[in-house]
Amino acid sequence: MIAIWLLLIAGVGVLVVHRYRNRRRLPPGIRPLPGPRSLPFIGRVHDIPAVGSWLKFYEWSKVYGPIYQTVMFGTVHVWISSEAIAHDLLSKRAIVYSDRPMIPNLPDNRTSGDYLALLGSTETWKRQRKLCNHLMHTSSLADLHAYPTLERDRFLYLLYQDPDNYIEWIEQFTSRAVSRLCWGTARPSQILRHTTLGLLETISPSGALPNVASFLRHLPAALSPWKRKERARHALEDRLFHANIGFVEESMARERADPSFIHTFLRSKGSADDRERARWGDAAEAMHVVGLMAIAGALTIGSPIQSYLLAMCHYPDQQRALQDEIDGVLGGRCPQWEDREKLPLLRAVVKEVIRWRPPVPTGIPHAVEKDDIYNGYLIPAGATIHALEWGITRDEAVYPDAETFNPRRWLDPAFPTFREPLTQFPNLHGFSQFGFGRRTCQGIPVVEQDLFLTMGGMAWAFDIRKRRDPRSGAELPVHWNDYTPLLIAKPTPFLFDALPRSADKVARMRDMSEDARARARECGGGADVAMDIAQFRPDLGDCIYADDVADGEADGVGSVGDTRVSMAGCDAAGSEPDLSFSDASTARSSDEPGSDLESDKLRLMMELPLDPRLGCKPAMPHVPGSWNWT
């Protein structure tokens, strides 16, 4: 207790000195940026909500303008809500604006080579960024979109079988697809999900107290639950990454390795060309670069996929227009990556979902290394610079009627965002939502494929619509903008119907899933190279994921805590549940509104405690016949 008091006093002392130092004379004509008034010592933190903080920062932009500052515990934070200003500073003056701030709850983030995206502007960062570019480029040539397609085909059939568990299937899709890209196998995906969520908590302002009350970072590990948690998480992640690279090495030794980022790296290391061998650093570094790419993919892509479902609930006309495009161009076939030039509306929907509900609404902050003057305002060295993505996407000059989900803004010359040729545009390259300047997101090719395939697949297969009340038949409300509070925001759960559009599409989905399963059996070293996933289970504590039910164990009954959920219409062999089709009059049996199963599902969705980090339930029932470890 005494230690805590001493630390508090020391913390206040540091803040006083910091404040005194910051209060300096400005050259004539130079002003500090406008912003809300600060309280002594704490600055302006007391009225920033823990949930939806970006809405408050956006509200302030309406009062103080598209660039303003707040002070939080002695640090100046600059908030930018205009894409043009973000480019002026973060892109055109990238030489001083490409640093990252120190994260109090992960104080070595600027120097440790373990987290490319969080590294300061150092030589390690430059080397790692080059390696990341090289891996991304080489793999796009190597036809790696076969992996997202395989996982999309698995995902669609799971969503058809059990739409109420959509968050689980989406998170499985993203983590499995990126695991395959990184290591050529989906087996590490559930542990990856676990460690990745932990990291998101570690670095998010709302995820760990020291990120707001930064003096708490000085607490010794014995007194800091945050430090202990992060150490355990990091140790698990390290073991996972070692196991993954070991798996690829062994697969390569047996000539069974599938293409992956790590495979590409190891092949360059084995090259006869000395320069090629020396170019990309050592295996330990590559292991972390690829690990960070996996983390980035597993964290983010689920957000727009969930937001697509939300948008379709609110905008049935847009869904119909998208289905018309897909049906008209593909004649009943499910979209494939090769179809992208022919489907501009689908690409517009992908981009508009991201604009409408930005996955990283407060942006990933940069730091400025030297004092800078912008339009007569001082931006002091060390300030944290936020491109406020939520605000940028609400700039009415660029996005008229910004609150409305309108994919046509990317396709119609009447809108400022229109760009030709439509075989190429819209696409995600250069989109503000992926950052600015030298720190721009390196995963755009992966995001583009994953979202095109999943959103296109869902529009082809399902009518997404609001669920009806089992008793009154009235539409159940679906929230408009309730998002989880961490750095990557996802919609909180909502109920909807995913009605398959025809019996034929159900049969196609089943076939596609079966084909995907056969393709998956060929991947990941096949049966020759085993990956010991069980070694990690003890580290997962109480967390149970649906994939923990191994293949073949499914019995048509899943459990959630103490509640057993039976999947009516399914048997152990994985036959289909009874469902109605949107274009047929087939009556629902067990799944009909008002049935016991329906009320069971509703109760589960509403009553189970949310995992506050993920915004989803801690454990989900298993779908019989789904396949997990291949």
Annotated binding residues for heme, as ranges?
441
Please choose, out of 300-308, 556-564, 598-606, 622-630, the segment that lies near ligand HEM by the rule CB under 6 A: 300-308
Q: Which is nearer to ligand HEM, 312 or 560 (CB)?
A: 312
Please choose, out of 320-328, 441-449, 519-527, 587-595, the segment that lies near ligand HEM by the rule CB under 6 A: 441-449
If one asks whether residue 113 binds ligand HEM (CB under 6 A), the answer comes out as no
If one asks whether residue 71 binds ligand HEM (CB under 6 A), the answer comes out as no
* 275 Cβ contact partners less than 8 Å away, ≥ 6 residues apart: none
Report the 10 Å Cβ neighbour count for 326: 23
Quick one: 244 exposed, middle or buried, by C-beta within 10 A (0-12, 13-18, 19+)? buried
Q: Identify the DSSP state of 91.
A: I
> What element of type H or E holds 287?
helix 283-300
If one asks whether residue 77 binds ligand HEM (CB under 6 A), the answer comes out as no
Report the 10 Å Cβ neighbour count for 439: 24
Q: At what angle do helices 344-356 and 444-461 cross, to 10 degrees?
A: 110
Please choose, out of 156-164, 204-212, 250-258, 428-436, the segment that lies near ligand HEM by the rule CB under 6 A: 428-436
Cβ–Cβ under 8 Å, residues 22 and 380: yes
Report the 10 Å Cβ neighbour count for 374: 15
If one asks whether residue 434 binds ligand HEM (CB under 6 A), the answer comes out as yes
The least CB distance from residue 52 to ligand HEM, in Å, is: 18
The rounded distance, in Å, linking the Cα atoms of 300 and 177 is: 13
The least CB distance from residue 180 to ligand HEM, in Å, is: 12
Cβ–Cβ under 8 Å, residues 455 and 353: yes
CA-nearest of 623, 459, 464, 461 to 551 is 623
If one asks whether residue 363 binds ligand HEM (CB under 6 A), the answer comes out as yes
If one asks whether residue 11 binds ligand HEM (CB under 6 A), the answer comes out as no
The rounded distance, in Å, linking the Cα atoms of 222 and 167 is: 36
Q: Which is nearer to ligand HEM, 173 or 434 (CB)?
A: 434
If one asks whether residue 364 binds ligand HEM (CB under 6 A), the answer comes out as yes
Please choose, out of 238-246, 357-365, 470-478, 607-615, the segment that lies near ligand HEM by the rule CB under 6 A: 357-365
The least CB distance from residue 435 to ligand HEM, in Å, is: 2
Give the CA angle between residues 448, 521, 332 to the nearest 5°: 50
CA-based Rg of the chain, rounded to a whole angstrom?
25
The rounded distance, in Å, linking the Cα atoms of 424 and 433 is: 19
If one asks whether residue 241 binds ligand HEM (CB under 6 A), the answer comes out as no
Please choose, out of 5-13, 331-339, 363-371, 411-419, the segment that lies near ligand HEM by the rule CB under 6 A: 363-371
Q: Which is nearer to ligand HEM, 240 or 447 (CB)?
A: 447
If one asks whether residue 103 binds ligand HEM (CB under 6 A), the answer comes out as no
Interstrand relation of 384-387 and 75-80 (parallel, antiparallel or unpaired): parallel
Four-CA torsion 289, 292, 294, 295, nearest 10 degrees = 170
If one asks whether residue 291 binds ligand HEM (CB under 6 A), the answer comes out as no
If one asks whether residue 116 binds ligand HEM (CB under 6 A), the answer comes out as yes
Cβ–Cβ under 8 Å, residues 215 and 73: yes
String marking each residue 335-354 x if it binds ligand HEM according to CB under 6 A: --------------------
Cβ–Cβ under 8 Å, residues 507 and 488: no
> What element of type H or E holds 297?
helix 283-300
The least CB distance from residue 147 to ligand HEM, in Å, is: 12
The least CB distance from residue 549 to ligand HEM, in Å, is: 27
The least CB distance from residue 97 to ligand HEM, in Å, is: 9
Please choose, out of 163-171, 245-253, 298-306, 618-626, the segment that lies near ligand HEM by the rule CB under 6 A: 298-306
> In this structure, is the dihedral angle defined by the CA atoms of residues 36, 40, 42 and 45, taken in order, positive or negative?
negative
If one asks whether residue 33 binds ligand HEM (CB under 6 A), the answer comes out as no
Ranges within 547-566 binding ligand HEM (CB under 6 A): none
If one asks whether residue 433 binds ligand HEM (CB under 6 A), the answer comes out as yes
- Tell me which amino acid residue 20 is: Y
Ranges within 301-330 binding ligand HEM (CB under 6 A): 301, 304
CA distances from 541 to 536, 544, 558, 620 (A): 10, 8, 20, 16
The least CB distance from residue 123 to ligand HEM, in Å, is: 13
The least CB distance from residue 176 to ligand HEM, in Å, is: 13
CA distances from 608 to 60, 580, 592, 601 (A): 36, 27, 22, 11
If one asks whether residue 439 binds ligand HEM (CB under 6 A), the answer comes out as yes
Among residues 359, 485, 524, 625, the one that binds ligand HEM under rule CB under 6 A: 359
If one asks whether residue 296 binds ligand HEM (CB under 6 A), the answer comes out as yes
Q: Which is nearer to ligand HEM, 489 or 533 (CB)?
A: 489
CA distances from 385 to 360, 459, 499, 628 (A): 14, 38, 44, 42
Q: Which is nearer to ligand HEM, 98 or 224 (CB)?
A: 98
> In this structure, is the dihedral angle defined by the CA atoms of residues 493, 495, 496 and 499, taken in order, positive or negative?
positive
Among residues 192, 216, 360, 464, the one that binds ligand HEM under rule CB under 6 A: 360
Among residues 57, 73, 183, 436, the one that binds ligand HEM under rule CB under 6 A: 436
Instruction: List residues bridging with 72 in a β-sheet.
Output: 43, 75
Among residues 144, 446, 453, 570, the one that binds ligand HEM under rule CB under 6 A: 446
Cβ–Cβ under 8 Å, residues 7 and 44: no
String marking each residue 127-166 x if it binds ligand HEM according to CB under 6 A: --x--x----------------------------------
Binding residues: 441
The rounded distance, in Å, linking the Cα atoms of 505 and 499 is: 11
Among residues 447, 486, 520, 549, the one that binds ligand HEM under rule CB under 6 A: 447
Q: Which is nearer to ligand HEM, 77 or 508 (CB)?
A: 77
Q: At what angle do helices 302-314 and 166-183 cross, to 10 degrees?
A: 150
Please choose, out of 137-145, 362-370, 549-557, 597-605, the segment that lies near ligand HEM by the rule CB under 6 A: 362-370
Q: Which is nearer to ligand HEM, 200 or 293 (CB)?
A: 293
Q: Which is nearer to ligand HEM, 11 or 304 (CB)?
A: 304
Residues at the contact surface with ligand HEM, assessed by CB under 6 A: 116-117, 129, 132, 292-293, 296-297, 300-301, 304, 359-360, 363-364, 366, 433-436, 439-443, 446-447
